[in-house]
Amino acid sequence: MSSESIEAFYTTDEYIKGHPTLHEEDSAWKIEKMKPFIDAFIKRTPKKEVCILDVGGGAGIILKNIAKYLQETHDKKVIKYCLDLSPGMVEIQTKNNQDIIKAIAGDIRETPFSDKEIDLVLMIDVLEHVQEPDKVIKEIERIATCALYKVPLEDTVYYKLMDRLTKGNFRKRLIEYVGHINVYNQQSLKKEVEGDKGIVIKEGLTNVYPYLLKTEKGLFSKVFNSIGVVLYKVAPKLSAKLLSDYALMLVKTDKV
């Protein structure tokens, strides 16, 4: 896909047409996995009000519920912002977050925010979609104090094997259907998100297999995720290298 077609995939709302639920059904699971990382962020944040920018936040359910969690659990008021290439997604985000301060249809590589204006940037299932991820990381380093990333690990033995067996069509489908143009393993992701100035202060795997075992149908999926459940109990990092999983990383954007 060319740079223009990748951008058009979002700006023309083609992604919404292909994924009308915007993965809202997975939000509750994602939020539970995010909570320990939000707690770790709050330990570093004495302020009573925190500014959160949700990038590529889909329906806005995660932003809404994380703000609620911060209010109810940590007595923090959340100043909400959202940014997305898709005007349609920005509209949906705003409908689900009536108290949002600023909703921007734009590119995370260049934003209107001042230096360190944002306390926490949420990049939940976004980094795999963006063009020039190095520029994205630099902009996040500029505007934010911390960032939370959730990213699928697709640089694995399983993905490479499937790509070879399908003569490249497996990878091609990931790009064309879901827009995954960047591929990571845990090590390469950590190097990417730390950028020039950042440092990962908390990281972990989601152990996605029990969730997928409950929600996905089909014999192959059942067998694959059953193997994942067993392997994760014995060797979590090995399961992520052989099969796949999601990594969560909380990054302090300035090592100082």
Q: Give the domain ranges of the chain.
A: 3-153+182-207+244-252
Which residue has tokens 């985000």? 93
The set of residues, in sequence order, having a beta carbon less than 8 Å from that of 18 and lying 6+ positions away, is: 177
Integer angstrom CA distances of residue 163 from 150, 154, 222: 23, 11, 21
What are 77-124's pLDDT values in tens digits? 999 999 999 999 999 999 999 999 999 999 999 999 999 999 999 999
The helix or strand, by DSSP H or E, that contains position 18, with its residue range, turns out to be helix 14-18
Contact 182, 130 (CB under 8 A): yes
* Whole-number pLDDT of residue 25: 84
Given this model, what pLDDT does residue 141 score?
Answer: 98
Distances (CA, A) of 66 to 49, 73, 110: 14, 10, 25
Residue 22 confidence class, pLDDT cut points 50, 70, 90: low
User: pLDDT for 28-50, tens place per residue?
Assistant: 999 999 999 999 999 999 899 99
> Would the pLDDT of 4 be above 80?
no
Distance, CA of 218 to CA of 55 (rounded, Å)? 32
pLDDT per position as a tens digit, 50-63: 999 999 998 999 99
- Distance from C-alpha of 232 to C-alpha of 51, rounded to nearest angstrom: 35
Q: How many helices, marked H, and strands, marked E, lie in the chain?
A: 12, 7
Nearest CA to 70 out of 92, 54, 86, 58 is that of 54
Domain 3-153+182-207+244-252 belongs to what topology?
Rossmann fold (3.40.50)
Q: According to the model, what pLDDT value does residue 20 have? A: 64
